[in-house]
Structure formats: structure tokens, C-alpha cells
Amino acid sequence: MADSLPRSRELDGDVDADPAVVECDGQWSTWDAFVREAEHSSFCHLSGWRNVIGEVLGHECIHRVALDPAGNWAGVLPLVRVRSAMFGHYLLSMPFLNYGGPLGSPSARGRLTADAVRLAERSRTDLLELRQRQVPPSPPLEEARRKVTVVLELPDDAGVLWSDGLKAKVRSQVRRPQKEGMVTRFGPREREPFYEVFARNMRDLGTPVLPARFFEAVSASFPDEVEYGCVYWKDAPVAAGCGFVWRDEFEMTWASSLREHAIMAPNMLLYWSFIGRMVERRMRRFNFGRCTPDSGTHRFKLQWGGVDEVLPWGQWSPRDLSETPNPNRPAYQMAARLWSRLPLAIANRLGPLIARQIP
């Protein structure tokens, strides 16, 4: 493969003819250059996730490249194998994230999908899941529509959104924490306060938390894409978020607030502050991140005036599995109630050992 990004035949206006699929041989600058040019790409496709998911969480990362007959790159697909005795064996693009399906020309995406199915078959994977966003999955994958995201178009002036886009109730809920003296801070130094709030909220929800090292690696791998923000009250963090800028869109990937301050609605100030921040950065869309349709989280996101975008994830399973482990299943509810009662120090020590197995 060439040292600089080769042009695929689709980019040149031709149609690819049965691209071959090979493993990426370490040309990560070429990989990322392809991702940055490709239609429907996301920050989830960047090669830096091998440092985060592979090195921190210890999962096998597989990076597949589709080549056209001339040897030019025609498509890419990052895959991660998540295997555990507790939850099963999964091949995903991308685990712990919302997107990551095959990129490139239509024929390249088809070949990458077929190749992923063969990998899943040979390794006896319980479920192959390619987390597409706007492109329907290629056969033989079946389309799962169990998740949506909410996307808000951003104006040039946040004041216009405040006066014309938000309902009076939402504005009132944002003013409440402001009247209490809460303030929002942004920047790399907010990573540790973010994790403090995030870990505590996950414990309260009864859900094991990702390790702090995960977010340290995110900051090191994606310094230009990641954004941290925290809401403070009396100099203590009470709500926090972490998300990613990609092209002209920002996605809020993780967000949390502390239950004991819920009456003051710090989560409302958190989201409004992030929205204002992204307007300042000239983003055109605010992506609230994935959620389950008709859930409380879904209704919270819709109140900001965005619209639903169904996520057409592609799946293949020899066991007829329809999803990865879901903490909302009845079988997990008792464990969640017990987990929420653990001392925070114990939950933070044990949580990462379990969370790495729940993609």
C-alpha cells in the first residue's frame, strides 16, 4: 500500500469491481486520512480507538481494508472482539460507542460486511453488530432499529435558539441552576471532575463504570476532537459531559449529574452550556447521542427541539441474538439494585473489570 492516501475508484468516478479485503498493516495515517475524506464517517472510525479499547480495555482490534483491483483503498471497517465468560462473544464496530460501520464505495462496504460475517462465523461469535448511522446495512446483516439519536440544527446565534427554539419550560429549567449560582467550565482540565461525577452517577444507576484510564487515553488519542465540560456549584462538580467534534457536528457521548442536586436541574444547564459552546465553535448540529425510543432519556433529549434519527445498526447472529448485554433486562435488575448500594470506592475498583465486558 502507498504511503499517502490512494484515491479509490469511487472517488475518481468509477465503480469498484469486487474489492479484496486485507488487514491494515499499520498505516494509521493512511487509515485516518481515508476516514476523514469518507462519506458518513465518524470519530468512532479513527484509528486512535485501538489505543483506547485495545490497550486500556484489552480487546482485540481488527482493522480491515477493502482494496480495488488497482490496489487503492476503497473502504475500511474497524472491528473489535469483545469476549467474556460472563456475557458472551461479540464482534462489533464499534463497542462502547454509537457508530463505526463500513465506509467507502457500495461494493467495498458489501465486501467488508461479508468479510466481517466470515470472521464472525470462523470464530463462533454470538453476535456481529455493525453500528451504522445513515447507511442501511448490507446483506446478510439484518437491520436493527432499537436505538435512535436526537439531532438539533444549530443557528449562528445561540440567542436565536433561546428565544425562538426553546419552550418556556425549558428556559425556566435552565435559569434555575443559574439562579443558584451554578457555572459551567470547559477544557481538558475538566476530565477528572467529569469522571468524578460520571463514576458516582453510574454507581447510583447500578451500572459498572468504565475505568478512568479509558478517558485518559481518549484525551491523549483525540485532543482535537474530545470536549469535556462540568457544571459547578459551590466549587464542586455536580454535572458533567464528554463528547466529540466531528466535521460540523458535536455528539454528547457521556453525560451525568448527581442525584442529590436534581431539584436544581444542573443537567439542564450542562446541556445548554454545551449547546452554546458548540454554537461558538460554529458547529451546525448538536447530536444528543443514542438512546432507546420512548425512554425518559429520549424524552429529555427531544425537549430541546431536535428530531429523531433512527440508527440502522446491522446484525448477524447464529444464535438469534438481537442485542448486546442490556442492563435494563429483568435478569440484571437485581444486580443493579445491589450495585447501587456499594460504597463508591468499591464500585470504582470493581466496575471497570465488568464494564469492559459490556459493549
Q: How confident is the model at residue 16 (pLDDT cuts 50, 70, 90)?
A: very low
116, 193: one domain: no
CATH number, position 77: 3.40.630.30
203, 57: one domain: no
Secondary structure (3-state) at 125? coil
Average predicted confidence (pLDDT) for the chain: 93
Q: Is the pLDDT higher at 8 or at 222?
A: 222
Q: How confident is the model at residue 34 (pLDDT cuts 50, 70, 90)?
A: very high
Looking at the domain assignment, is residue 258 inside a domain?
yes
278, 317: one domain: no
DSSP annotation of 164: I
198, 220: one domain: yes
Looking at the domain assignment, is residue 10 inside a domain?
no
Nearest Cα residue to 238 out of 184, 297, 296: 184
CA distances for 142 relative to 66, 173, 293, 320, angstroms: 22, 41, 19, 11
Secondary structure (3-state) at 353? helix
Looking at the domain assignment, is residue 332 inside a domain?
no
Nearest Cα residue to 119 out of 19, 23, 17, 18: 23
The three cell numbers locating residue 135: 447507511
Looking at the domain assignment, is residue 12 inside a domain?
no
Please tell me the predicted confidence (pLDDT) of residue 4: 37
Give residue 256's domain range.
149-310+343-355
113, 230: one domain: no
CA distance 203 to 214: 17
Contact predicate 82/357, CB 8 Å: yes
Residues near 272 by Cβ (< 8 Å), separated by ≥ 6? Answer: 174
Residue 199 CA to its chain's centroid (Å): 17
Q: How confident is the model at residue 357 (pLDDT cuts 50, 70, 90)?
A: very high
The three cell numbers locating residue 198: 460520571
182, 110: one domain: no
Contact predicate 62/119, CB 8 Å: yes
CA distance 189 to 232: 14
138, 175: one domain: no
Sign of the dihedral through C-alpha 252, 213, 35, 118? negative
Looking at the domain assignment, is residue 75 inside a domain?
yes
Looking at the domain assignment, is residue 320 inside a domain?
yes
239, 139: one domain: no
In the chain, the number of structural domains is 2
Residues near 332 by Cβ (< 8 Å), separated by ≥ 6? Answer: 325, 326
163, 125: one domain: no
Residue 302 scores a pLDDT above 60 = yes
Residue 263 scores a pLDDT above 80 = yes
The region of weakest confidence among 8-17, 93-102, 329-338 is 8-17
Residue 10 scores a pLDDT above 50 = no
CA distance 114 to 127: 14
Q: How confident is the model at residue 322 (pLDDT cuts 50, 70, 90)?
A: confident
139, 165: one domain: no
CA distance 359 to 353: 13
Q: 157-206: per-residue pLDDT in tens? A: 999 999 999 999 999 999 999 999 999 999 999 999 999 999 999 999 99
Sign of the dihedral through C-alpha 343, 344, 348, 351? positive
Angle at 291 between CA 254 and CA 250, to 5 degrees: 50
291, 320: one domain: no
- Global pTM reads 0.91
Residue 40 scores a pLDDT above 90 = yes
Please tell me the predicted confidence (pLDDT) of residue 320: 85
Q: 104-130: per-residue pLDDT in tens? A: 999 999 999 999 999 999 999 999 999
Q: Is the pLDDT higher at 326 or at 343?
A: 343
296, 256: one domain: yes
Residue entry with cell 447472529:
317
Question: What's the one-letter identity of residue 46?
Answer: L
Looking at the domain assignment, is residue 5 inside a domain?
no
DSSP annotation of 296: H
Looking at the domain assignment, is residue 2 inside a domain?
no
Give the strand pairing for 313-316 and 142-144.
antiparallel
Q: Averaged over 217-222, what is the pLDDT?
A: 98
Q: 46-105: per-residue pLDDT in tens? A: 999 999 999 999 999 999 999 999 999 999 999 999 999 889 999 999 999 999 999 999
